[in-house]
Amino acid sequence: MKNLKSFTLIELVMYVALSSTIVFSITVLAVMCLQIREKNKAILEVENQGAYILDKLTHEIRNARNVTAPLATATSQNLILDEDEALNDPTEFSLTDNILKIKQGSAATQDLNSPNISIADLSFSNLSTGSDKPSEIKITFKATYSVSEIKYEKNFYGSASQRNTP
């Protein structure tokens, strides 16, 4: 009789177990990589939109002719600026349903953040002590990304002074 070479049952079971362990490990690694990717996407979106909003607010404050609201030494959730350019006068920033909106003159209201990002705790504080000095506005808000199981939030702070005095 010929001597046939084949796998024993134990060798086959060990091969299947080892292969299953390797496939399972690769799957877990792939899932973890996807979760990290989504978390990084959330962080990037919050950082980019928060920086954009802060830049937009400081730019508009610096170029405004006058700050109508909030008044000196007051704090508000809305910011109203008088502009030199008639098309943009007044410029209003307001928070509605966690969306920061800008309205310039008679133009339509525009959203400054995407639906994936919600803005909360928006505050404009007028640090000026009187109307004879340029207004200095302190800005604070919290931007939050919350889609499915991914959540990331960050507080943003900034301030801006008018370049143009009344």
Q: What is the DSSP string of 64-125?
A: -SEEEESPTT-EES-EEEE-SSGGG-SEEEEEETTEEEEEETTSPPEESS-TTEEEEEEEEE
Q: Considering the domain boundaries, does residue 3 fall inside one?
A: no
Identify whether the C-beta of residue 122 lies closer than 8 Å to the C-beta of residue 112: no
Tens-level pLDDT at each residue, the chain (166 residues): 566 677 788 888 999 999 999 999 999 999 999 989 989 999 999 999 999 999 999 999 988 888 888 888 888 899 989 887 877 788 999 999 999 999 998 888 999 999 999 999 999 998 887 766 778 899 999 999 988 888 899 999 999 888 755 4
Integer Cα distance of 123 and 105 in angstroms? 22
Q: Considering the domain boundaries, does residue 4 fall inside one?
A: no
Question: Range of 73's domain?
Answer: 9-161
Q: Considering the domain boundaries, does residue 166 fall inside one?
A: no
- C-alpha neighbours within 13 Å on the C-beta side of residue 40: 6
Q: In the 8-state DSSP scheme, what is residue 148?
A: T
Q: Considering the domain boundaries, does residue 2 fall inside one?
A: no
Total of domains in the chain: 1
Q: What is the pLDDT of residue 132?
A: 67
Integer Cα distance of 42 and 4 in angstroms? 60
Q: Considering the domain boundaries, does residue 150 fall inside one?
A: yes
Q: Considering the domain boundaries, does residue 77 fall inside one?
A: yes
Q: What is the pLDDT of residue 139?
A: 94
136, containing H or E segment:
strand 136-147
Q: Considering the domain boundaries, does residue 107 fall inside one?
A: yes
Q: Considering the domain boundaries, does residue 50 fall inside one?
A: yes
